[in-house]
Chain A
Amino acid sequence: METKRLGQRPPVLEMSNVTKTFNGDVVALRNMTLSVNEGDFISLLGPSGCGKSTALRLIAGLTSTSSGRINWAGGQSQNDLGVVFQEPTLMPWATVAQNVWLPFRLRGQSYASVKDEILDVLRLVGLEKFLDAYPRELSGGMKMRVSIARSMVTKPRLILMDEPFAALDEITRFRLNNDLLQLKAKIGCTVIFVTHSVFESVFLSDRIVVMAARPGRVIREVTVDAPYPRSEAFRTSAEYAALCREASEALHIAMGEPA
């Protein structure tokens, strides 16, 4: 295998020249190439209709590519994914613990056999006291934490997040951004994160893939070299401001406006 930019880390997934069209003429995504390595935190940043959600659906195997290939290192294993949607997407009839149990349950594993994993991940997201609560009893931020816990509980090779914090208020959003980075440090997961927000993408990721719409395509990749762990102080640093400007400019180009 050829050496990647972050070649020391083993690869997870390779998208090469992936194109997705609907009804033959609507190009949702054109020629996307992306290599994902273990431990990456990649943000897909772009305006509506740039194909970032399509890219996630393709990786998740929910739709098939029109052309190009998506290869998992070491063979196609669909099962090794965690997903977080824009909505918490919890089962309202099930408790927090039962919701987090779901990925195991669908593999035929009993609750008793994975109880420790469930407790561990809920402790990490700070919800160990809410095992038996129903989703309706939780705030929006807490529901999203349950959703994140569910995506991580099986320690999947790759976690896809589709604008998970877009519907939350800014204070909750900042808190969850911080917590997500801590979780990532503890669990060491690989994440592809779709977002509208320049600030969020710079704070969270080590690579930002800036995308443009009509047709959906990648126009630029911004590398965020700041080391993890990133604290709240990073948000006010000059480096952060400079990176935000760089990503912002790329986004303006993507939207066809002068920077």
Chain B
Amino acid sequence: MSVAENTPLFDAEDLRRQRAARFERFGKWLLPVAVMIAMIWFWDRLVVWNEIPHFILPRPGLVLETLIKDWPMLFDALLVTLQITMMALAVAVIGGVGLAVLFTQSRLVEMSFYPYAVILQVTPVVSIAPLIFIYVDSRTAGLLICAWLVAFFPILANTTLGLNSADHNLRDLFRIYGATRWQTLRYLRLPSALPYFLGGLRIAGGLALIGAVVAEYVAGTGGIGSGLAFRILEAGYRLNIPRMFAALILIAMTGVVIFAGLSFLSHMLLRKWHESALKRET
């Protein structure tokens, strides 16, 4: 009697694993959506049951209405905030990677400047921002500097770590083959640093948005060309709570979109070779 004849195609463990996989696939989306629907419903009921006036806590429907009604103004504000965020992120990438490369190329530079990079990072941006707006005339430039200050450190720290984590035997191999400094950087250190850099970039994307929003709060001046944070402040002064919520939702969604976009970029760049992007068979 052979084993194959009366053994079922899938044993109990396989079935369990399949069930778990199916649950994982749907649960990943369904559960958060269910939680959100429940929260929104509870929010709505809370307002109705307690008869909370809309200038204290608006009903979700009113927030949505406001979002649609104020869309032209909010969208313009979103574009301003997004522009600062993206520019800050771009400068953070250039500055962070540039400094990291400089640090790994020269121990002297690293020893001299790394402590100051740390000091910049640990000093809260809210406390530096007022000073920046005193010395920098251009409001956009001020916002950019604030957002950059927050965003660049994770890129610097991660890229430095990555550049230094190139395989030791590969480094020896490059030396044996007489590789130049530039070749070692280009063909060995930078590719080794890519996964670390992308990890830092994902953190920096969120931080750039936070930096931009915080700086807008500090900068505080209004008028044309104001970002979402200013719209929130302004709506607060006018007790226009629904608009505060609408702007808040836009900021949160922007953060999610930035994170998702950078995660996708990371996946696309690493999917062929890096452990983090590989699916395990079992």
Contact = CB atoms under 8 A, between A and B. Distances in A.
A67 interface: no
B167 A136 contact: no
Nearest to A77: B178
Contact of B191 (A61, A83, A93, A106): A93
A200 B188 CA distance: 33
- Interface size of A as a range: 20 to 34
A92 interface: yes
Contacts of A49: none
Contacts of B179: 106
Contacts of B167: 89
Given A91-B188, A102-B187, A60 B172 contact: yes
B86 interface: no
Nearest to A59: B176
Interface in A48-96: 60-62, 78-79, 81, 83, 85, 87, 89, 91-94
Contacts of A78: 176, 178
A140 interface: no
A134 B173 contact: no
B273 interface: yes
Contacts of B177: 79, 102-103, 106-107
B183 interface: yes
Contacts of B183: 106
B273 A83 contact: no
A123 interface: no
B75 interface: no
B194 A93 contact: yes
B272 interface: yes
A9 B275 CA distance: 48
A134 B191 CA distance: 14
Contact of B274 (A81, A87, A92, A107): A92
Interface string B158-170: 0000000001011
The interface residues of chain A, by DSSP majority, are classed as loop
- Interface size of B as a range: 20 to 34
A115 interface: no
A107 B175 CA distance: 12
Contact of A91 (B170, B178, B275, B278): B170
B191 A91 contact: yes
A110 B194 CA distance: 24
Interface string B184-203: 00011001001000000000
Contacts of A93: 191, 194, 272-274
Contacts of A89: 167, 169-170, 173
A230 interface: no
B37 to A, nearest CB: 41
Interface string A95-128: 0000000110111000000000000000000000
Contacts of A105: 187
Nearest to B174: A106
25 contacts: A60-B172, A61-B175, A78-B176, A78-B178, A79-B178, A81-B176, A85-B172, A85-B173, A87-B169, A89-B169, A89-B173, A91-B170, A91-B188, A91-B191, A92-B274, A93-B191, A93-B272, A93-B273, A102-B187, A103-B177, A106-B179, A106-B183, A107-B177, A135-B273, A136-B273
Interface of B: 167, 169-170, 172-179, 183, 187-188, 191, 194, 272-275, 278
Top 7 nearest A-B pairs (CB, nearest first) are A89-B169, A106-B177, A85-B169, A93-B191, A106-B179, A92-B273, A93-B273
